């Protein structure tokens, strides 16, 4: 019995500091990515853009093997068949060895079917930047089944996001990422 109490006390001594410093994820958001354990994610009330809180992703590993993302998924609903702008205010600090960016993916009904995607890799956030609005524009096809979106960090540093927004835009607003298209010129004759 004494041994069980000692083990229980030891477990709590280890867990309390971990729980005390574990960030709380924003309601409705999940921690994901290729290596999410290398990142801390949550709500920050000290560094604000507007309102009382913002979300963040921070690299915590000494060596990075992939990316971490704070993300959410939703049904396309009213955005089906429309061109949509996903925007947010973002800020970065000491993103040196990698990059960061918003990302937006449109999934089809089949497992692994991607109908549109942009993760800002061609226009990444690097270094230390003040708050700025960034956006992604994609066409949401009628057959879209889900929207996935968030902010990612690949490497060191920290990024914050706030005031996310989805809005339908006119067709003359350029698409920023890759949208699906049927296979073409498969015989290389054109």
pLDDT (tens, 9 = 90+) of the chain, 190 residues, equals: 444 434 333 333 433 333 334 568 988 999 999 999 999 999 988 877 887 889 999 999 999 999 999 999 999 999 999 999 999 999 999 999 999 999 999 999 999 899 999 999 999 999 999 999 999 999 999 999 999 999 999 999 999 999 999 999 999 999 998 766 555 555 566 6
Half-sphere exposure of 149 (CA within 13 A, CB side): 22
Kindly give the residue spans of alpha helices, DSSP state H, lying in 51-190. Answer: none
Residue 14: inside a domain, yes or no? no
Tokens of 116: 């549109």
Nearest-CA neighbor of 155 among 43, 34, 73?
34
Residues 6+ apart with CB under 8 A from 99: 121, 124, 125, 126, 154, 155
Note whether residue 186 is domain-resident. no
Q: What is the CATH number of the domain that holds 91?
A: 2.60.120.260
Is 11 part of a structural domain of the chain? no
Q: How many domains does the chain have?
A: 1
Query: For residue 127, what are the domain limits?
Result: 24-179
């Amino acid at each position: 019995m004494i041994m069980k109490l000692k083990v229980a006390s030891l477990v709590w001594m280890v867990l309390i500091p971990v729980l005390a410093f574990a960030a709380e994820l924003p309601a409705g958001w999940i921690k994901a990515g290729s290596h999410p354990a290398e990142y801390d994610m949550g709500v920050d009330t000290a560094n604000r853009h507007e309102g009382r809180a913002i979300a963040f992703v921070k690299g915590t590993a000494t060596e990075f093997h992939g990316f971490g993302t704070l993300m959410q998924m939703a049904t396309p609903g009213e955005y089906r068949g429309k061109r949509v702008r996903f925007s947010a205010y973002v800020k970065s600090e000491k993103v040196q060895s990698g990059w960061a960016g918003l990302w937006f993916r449109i999934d089809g009904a089949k497992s692994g079917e991607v109908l549109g995607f942009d993760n800002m890799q061609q226009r990444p956030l690097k270094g230390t930047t003040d708050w700025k609005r960034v956006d992604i524009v994609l066409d949401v096809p009628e057959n879209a089944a889900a929207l996935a979106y968030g902010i990612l960090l690949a490497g060191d540093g920290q990024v914050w996001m706030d005031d996310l927004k989805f809005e339908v835009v006119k067709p003359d607003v350029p698409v920023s990422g890759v949208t699906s298209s049927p296979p073409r010129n498969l015989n290389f004759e054109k």
